[in-house]
Amino acid sequence: METFYRVHWADCLPFSAEHAWSALWGATRVTPDGSRIECIACGGTGTADGTKYGDPCAECDGDKVTDAERGYSCYTNPTDLIAYFAHRGEPSDDDSVIVFEGRQVGAGSDGETLAVPTRVIETMTWSELRKRENR
């Protein structure tokens, strides 16, 4: 089993294997479990040119929705997690940092790891993580 580090946003579904789906930032989830998202290529219109009568979108085949990626985006060590969010904008302490055991299932669009959790090891705030890592 590997150990992973993730920032879990306060407004996300509860942290669990069942909800372990990833979407690009800003993607619109269309199923309650987050496994399907509005097609990004066509903006959810279903057509290649975004008009009502255009050719079907090649990405979603006219379905308007596509599958999200399996797994939570996360990092295999706290240093990389901190480096990523230092660049992107740091989470607030309403959000959680979750340390978990799980299985890597792929790699995300930003080069991060995608993993499905099997067990939560601990939960802390961003400030606690920063203090612990002394950065």
Q: What residues make contact with Zn ion under the rule CB under 5 A?
A: 39, 41-42, 57, 59-60
Closest of 61, 84, 64, 63 to residue 7, by C-alpha? 84
Find the shortest distance in angstroms from Cβ 110 to Zn ion.
22
Q: Under DSSP, is residue 17 helix (H, G, I), strand (E, B) or coil?
A: helix
Find the shortest distance in angstroms from Cβ 67 to Zn ion.
12
Find the shortest distance in angstroms from Cβ 45 to Zn ion.
7
CA distance 78 to 112: 13
Q: Which is nearer to Zn ion, 42 or 114 (CB)?
A: 42
Q: Which is nearer to Zn ion, 14 or 26 (CB)?
A: 26
Q: Which residues of 36-46 are buried (b: 16+ CB within 10 A; e: fewer)?
A: bbbbeebebbb
Q: Which is nearer to Zn ion, 62 or 78 (CB)?
A: 62
Q: Under DSSP, is residue 5 helix (H, G, I), strand (E, B) or coil?
A: strand
Q: Give CA separation, 121 vs 1, 49, 97, 117, in Å.
A: 12, 47, 11, 10
Q: Which is nearer to Zn ion, 35 or 76 (CB)?
A: 35
Find the shortest distance in angstroms from Cβ 11 to Zn ion.
26
Find the shortest distance in angstroms from Cβ 73 to Zn ion.
22
Cβ count within 10 A of residue 135: 11
Q: Which is nearer to Zn ion, 62 or 108 (CB)?
A: 62
